Structures are given as structure tokens and as C-alpha cells.
Structure 1
């Protein structure tokens, strides 16, 4: 057997995933704790995570690239909204520039992780190219995101197996798919469908988006002149921070106005749709949802490109439900049918905790859904482990960077005090429970028992508010509701911070 597979590798920190979260964690942890060793385990063959997985036409960010990129490695291209391949290239170049790529083990699938209280270490079992391999670490950082990479959500459409054409899901888009001149039906109206359809219309004969109900669409610009004007402010670092701040304020303002003044927001969004769509188009049928803005995430379109495709007759929207699928297309519950050569099931994702890795503490399996989440990244009574999950109403990296910095701070605190373990502890304090994600999205309803529990007040409250989180990060009391200790001691020196009820 290859020698590198026969020995257990040790790192002070083991990061699972080499996408935005993993690269960001590696940088922040090493920045604050240069003496610590770290390793990233990536199941894919390339850097990028979701930006390597998704390769469908039109794949791009659904938020601005300035808040999606790292604050410590400014985005230098002119776009305010970036294509997926450019984002992946940025991640690859950033990891190489800072030496992070030297610490990545590719094609490594993590199977399980078990915490040993006797040694205060995690033992992590993996497979690399089918060969078992073991890692040990002091601290485990999950940068795995929150959805299942292998199994997207596919509803059971009656008769789908009888369809004579091609069926694809955007999460597993085949590179050799030929849809030129063909009739393509995209089932779904989420962010994936909205970004996919304008690109499909460039080659397809005709594209139909089949939706059960309308979705709110927010129009933005690929290149924002205001942002680029701010970027020219000298020195360069100040210009970048101004562009970043502009985008943060825009995100916070749009969300805040939508929640505080939903009727006003609906009117504005509807007015934009009417502006782009042809005279007499049934806007209220296809683009006027029954719910308020941000009850579900708003979908970003670029300079009205989705509406333009409809106006030019290259795409259409059908609001109906699938009755069944036959050899030549889709029969709707209304009795109408849509002929198709290609069916794209843009039907969403399935949530998954910790990348599907089985974790246990001293041999006892831990179910994340049974634990409260602490400060949005630690799990109740699980030592030396963090899980990075981004915002539902803002750029992923805004929270990912807060999480990475918080973990780096925790590691520095433990090192300076000689502690070898740390975990949040709720104890006997009564804590009401609320949903961790307060959006009315199908993928959330389908996986109520996947995510950890949220309490109703800090530090156990999951909230999707970057401004408040950033303030908390500045004034954070690291000892709050935490237990610290040392391994191999009958009476470990611990400090219990006051549990906030």
C-alpha cells in the first residue's frame, strides 16, 4: 500500500471543503494562529465547491461579487455580478497566492469523525480514490455548505421515464448536452432557472419555464457604474472598501424595506416587470406571487435579461402544474401540454448537515438536528467543531468570514490559556426553539429535521442579520456559555461562563 495511505496524518485544524468557506477559514486561522498546522480535505478534484459543481449555462452569483469575494483579497474585475467560472478562477488564484492550495488533499471523501475525550482529538475516516485513510486533528471545521452535492431534489413526476428526450438536473449538467434548436422546458422558477434560461435561449429553439407559482425577480446590473466609480477612490484599499460597503448597504436596505414595507416593495418589483415586458403581458399571472417579498429569497436578473428573452419570443412562462409526462412532453393539470426535446428539472436542492459526515463523541453519534446552534457556527456540547453556514438574505461570504474569524479567535484563546477543548453548553437552561431559517422555501420545508435548532435569544439565536452579527463579533465575550478544559485530567481546569437565559 502507498505509504501516505498507511499512516495517520495529524493537523491542528482539519477543514472539510475547499470552496469559499474552506479557503476563507484557512486564511483567517493561519493569519491569527501562524504556528498551527492545517489541512483541507476536498472530495472533488478542483477548488471551488459549489462553483466547481455547478456548470450549467448561465451559472453566476446571485449576489454581488464584492461581498461574495474575500475582504482580504479584493475582486479586481469590473463585474459587480460574476459568472461561475470566473468565481472559481478567483478562488483558485487566491488559494495559490496565499499558499493554501499546498494544504489541500483532493479526491478525499470524509466518511466519519469521532471525538475522543481522553486525548481531545478528532479521528476522521476518509476515502481517497477508494483507499481508506485516517486523519487526526485538534479542531474540525466543516466548510461543506448545507446541501447534498450528490442528490438534488427531484420530484416524482408521473411518466417521466416514458419521456423520449433528455432529462437533466442543473446540479449535474452534462458538458456534452446538445440543445441547439430544440424545445427546452425548465421546470422551476428559482435562482437556477432564472439565470439558466437567458443563456439557453442563445442556442435553443424555444425555452419554456414551467412554474407552479410566481417568484419575485429583482433586476440588477452586471457592471454597476456606481460601484466602479467608488473603486477609483484612492488609495485602492479604500476604494474597494467603499464598493464593498455600498453593496452591503444595498443588500441590507432591500431586505429591510421588503420586510417593513412589503406592499411598497411589491409595487416596485411589479413596475420593473411591466417596464421590461411587452404591453398587455399578464404580469399578475406570472410575476406577482401571493406571498410577500423575502418570504422566499428574491431572484436576481441582470439588466432585465430574463424579461428581454420573453419580450423577444425566445422564452415563455407557463404557470401551471404537471399532471404527467409522456414521450413527447409535459401534460399540465389544466389540460394543456408543452412539447419538449429536453426537460430541465430545476426543482431545487436537498439540505444536508455537515456534508453527510457521521460525527460522534466518544462513540455516541451526534444528530445535528437534536442540538442547538451557538453563535451560528458551534453545536451544543460538541467539542472543537465548527460548521460554516451562510446567510439566506445576503452574500454567503459575509457570514463565512465572521465564522472564520470567530474560530481563529477561539483557537488563539485556547492556545493562550492551554485549553485543549472547548464547547458551548446550554445545560438546564430552558430555551424556546424557533426555525433556524425563516423563509418559506420548499427545500427548507422538506428538511425541517436536518438543520440544528435555533433558540430565541443570543448566543443560541440564529438570525440572518449581518449588521447585528458584525456588531456582536466586535463585542463578543468568548467565554459566554462556553466550557473550556484540558485533556487527560481527572479534574480538568475549566471555566464556565455564565449561561445567558
Structure 2
């Protein structure tokens, strides 16, 4: 036997599963639960890049990290939430861990697997997925009949920080909340937080008592809803010794009903809703402060509205531990930031709570029969399937309601679709425009007049297109989709089986 024969590598092993779920965050763990419950006997694996489950709640470690949705609707419909409506990351991770343990899901999850490529073969009706196993750097291969994308929508490894002139001259530290250093010492320091959203509103009160002073620097104000971190209905039902399963469902329905009313009012009577939101802030701060730093120029719900438990950031401002400055950055200096108004803010630490980078389907190199797939060339079917892409569903949640509401709806849809394919003996399904759709007007994934956060506007060219009919849009309307998605006709003209 010659030397070349001795050194020939062994053939790479390929594992096969009926379904491959990408991501072990809130969507992926929910998907695994639904598969087990609704498609018994289906083989599946969950590939997760991180070292543990949780997604956002694992990777985000900045002080005060908490949900900005209530956990009665952000929690799964099948697992009662028994804590405060707004929860910490640790509380959410504990809740998810219980779901995994109670349903024996852990054995299906492979941690430390970064997916590199996914190719669909029309000849074999199979996805072939290549992943790098972080533990040893080895490339491993899987095949799957169906791909369920539950990986979220932004890059965990890096947040979005704009480039400002003079950043290299600044002598202090610049930190993004998404990559928070474990050893960051902010005690007794002057801190500037750049941003106006939920992250800034969470961070400021969490660190203010330890800092000399915290300044939230925003280009423009945003809307907030201050309130008690409690649910009176849930508390009353618990006093009456009602079963937690009933409490979860009743409270969930009441919250969703109230949210629907609020959303409709935001569209139909925006000025009245605006004044109500501003009045909530005015309960904590002088009217002058509200007008100067907390009165947005846009109508409510064009961007996400964060709930502020007990008005903590406003209390910090009222106590003098924090302040808000509405201005634009001209450039960084050695000591801090020079504003366009001419004022200079000094700081030892600058925290850029400036958003994140959109990650479209995990930044995976997708191909169909060897041809690279550009998602912007596809048209979305209800924000979860794409024309020309067989046997794949994507979970993309809601902006105006809890993400998990849609994850649960799509979980039901995927299971119903898989069972329908089995009944038909179909190995392949994809969506395609019907004859009546051929002249349909196309537009961007989301209508900017409807919803326009920065991360979406920066990444719109990467996302699929939408049509002008509800079937070919991600409508962002849970209150319609909760009835529409379960009623989808799987034998409708948009579904092609083979």
C-alpha cells in the first residue's frame, strides 16, 4: 500500500433529517416543540451557532437587559408565564430552559454549529447544509427534506455603529451594547449613551446610580409607555386561585385585545394617541423637558414603542442622575463629543446604542441547484416563504406585537404543511405567483410609510420584495393573521407540489 493511500481522508459523514431548524432562540425552541407535538415521528435537528440556547437573551449581556414586550404574549402560548410582564434576560432564559427540559428538546440541539452553505437539489429534493463545528473547526454536512429558518434577523457578533469624524481622537472607551465587555468599569465615570430606543432607555437607569452622570444623546426623540411592571388582571386571577394555564390565556387575550385597539387608534387618531403617550412621560418630568426631549416628529407606531417599567429612566432624569440631550453629533473630540449646536459633552465612556446590522437568513450562502440565490430577487409569501425557494419557511415576527406570537402561528403552519405533504406523497413544495398575480405591483419588504426603523432601511436591498396583495406581503398585522394563517388553503393556486 503506498503512502498516498494511507493519507487519503475518510469520506465525510452526512447526517439526514426530515427537518433542519436553524437557531435555538425563541423561534427555534418553539419550532422544535411544535414539531414534536404536531408531527410525531418526524426526525429533526436544531443547529445553533452559540454555545447555548436563547439567542438575543444569551448574547446580549449589557446591564439591565430586559424584554420590551410583555411576557404573556412574548412567552409561548403553550407555556404559562408566571412572573412580572417585563422580564430580565435571566428570567427569559430560565423560562426557555424549562420548555426545553419539560419537552426533552435538548437531545435535538447541536450547539456551536455555524452554518456556512445551504444548497437545494431539485434532482434529490433535498437541502444539503454545511456547517463549521466551532469546537474543532471541522466542516460537517447534513441533508434535510425541509429547512426551517429560526435564526433571527440581525448579526449577533457585531452591532451597528456609525462612523463619526474624530472617533480615533477620542481618549475614552467606545462600547456597543451588543458586545458589552465583561470588565467595563463605569463606576464614578461620565457616560454618554448615543441612541433613543429601548436599549438606551434600559441601559441608562441600570447604570445611572453607579456613574457620576449618564447623558442620553439622541438625534430625535422616540415614544415610550411608562407603567407598573405588573398585570392587575393576572394578580386578581391569582388571588382567586385560578389555574395558571387559564390565567395565561385570559391575560394574553386581554393584552392582545388592548394592543389591537391601541394600534388602530394610532392609525386613525394619531394626535390623540400622541398626546396620551406624552402625558405618560409628563407624569414624571416637567412639560418643558417633555417638549424638548420626548416629543417625536413621527406619528405613533412608525417605530417600535418601548414599555418603561415604573418609568425608571424618567425617574433617573428627575433625580439628576441622568439627562437627555437632543442634538446631532458634529465630531468626536479627545474628551467627548462636539455637537452641531456647538456644545461639547465630555465622557469617559461612550456607549453606541445605535442599532444592529440586519442579517438576512443567517448570512448563509444559499443556492438552488448550484446557482447562488439572491433573496431580493424573490417575492415573499406572507413573510415566511419565497418564490423559487422550495421546502423552506422563515420566521420573522412582528414589530408592533410580540415576536413569539408569529413564531407560534408559523409553527402551526409548518406542521400543517408537512403533514399535508405527507398525505399527498409530495417531496417538494414551493410558492409561485398565480396567473392573476402576473402584473402585480412590487415594492420593498416593508412599506416605509408603515414602519421605518434604521436597521430595516439600511438593509431593505437584501430582503425579498412584496406584492400589493395580502398573500404577497408581511402585513405585520397579528390580529388579522391569527385568523388568516390557520385558514390558508394548502391546495391554493400559490402552492406548487411535486
TM-score of the aligned structures, taking structure 2 as reference length: 0.94
1:22, 1:300 → 2: CA distance? 25
1:183 partnered with 2:190: yes
Asked whether the equivalents of residues 353 and 451 of structure 1 are also in contact (C-alpha less than 8 Å), the reply is yes
Name the residue aligned to 1:261: 269
1:173, 1:233 → 2: CA distance? 42
Structure 1 unpaired stretches of 5+: 487-501
Give per-residue Cα distances to partners, 1:308-360, cap 9 Å, x unaligned.
00000000000111111122111111110111011000011121210101111
Q: 2:221 aligns with which of 214, 220, 224?
A: 214
Name the residue aligned to 2:3: none
1:373, 1:388 → 2: CA distance? 12
Give per-residue Cα distances to partners, 1:392-444, cap 9 Å, x unaligned.
11100011111111001100100111110000011562221233333122112
Name the residue aligned to 2:46: 40
2:86, 2:390 → 1: CA distance? 38
Alignment size in residue pairs: 483
1:387 partnered with 2:394: yes
Give per-residue Cα distances to partners, 1:18-55, cap 9 Å, x unaligned.
00110111111221111110000000001001111111
Name the residue aligned to 2:492: 480
Name the residue aligned to 1:499: none
Q: 2:79 aligns with which of 48, 73, 84?
A: 73
2:142, 2:182 → 1: CA distance? 34
* RMSD of aligned alpha carbons: 1.7
Asked whether the equivalents of residues 80 and 221 of structure 1 are also in contact (C-alpha less than 8 Å), the reply is no
1:434 partnered with 2:443: yes
Deviation, 1:479, is 1.7
Give per-residue Cα distances to partners, 1:62-116, cap 9 Å, x unaligned.
1100111111111122x01111121112112211221111111101000110001
Deviation, 1:235, is 3.7
2:468, 2:496 → 1: CA distance? 24
2:184, 2:11 → 1: CA distance? 38
Q: 2:283 aligns with which of 240, 256, 275?
A: 275
2:493, 2:111 → 1: CA distance? 36
User: Helix, strand or coil: the match of 2:17?
Assistant: strand
Name the residue aligned to 1:56: 62
User: Helix, strand or coil: the match of 1:148?
Assistant: strand
Distance 1:306 1:5, change over 3 A: farther
1:93, 1:167 → 2: CA distance? 37
2:434, 2:376 → 1: CA distance? 17
2:444, 2:64 → 1: CA distance? 32
Deviation, 1:7, is 1.2
Map of 1:330-349 to 2, 5 A cutoff? 330-349=337-356
Asked whether the equivalents of residues 230 and 240 of structure 1 are also in contact (C-alpha less than 8 Å), the reply is no
Name the residue aligned to 1:489: none
Name the residue aligned to 1:498: none
Deviation, 1:142, is 0.6
1:257, 1:388 → 2: CA distance? 28
User: Helix, strand or coil: the match of 1:307?
Assistant: helix
1:84 partnered with 2:96: no
Name the residue aligned to 2:4: none
Asked whether the equivalents of residues 80 and 244 of structure 2 are also in contact (C-alpha less than 8 Å), the reply is no
Deviation, 1:469, is 0.2
1:284 partnered with 2:291: yes
1:381, 1:465 → 2: CA distance? 25
Structure 2 unpaired stretches of 5+: 1-6
Q: 1:467 aligns with which of 454, 479, 482?
A: 479
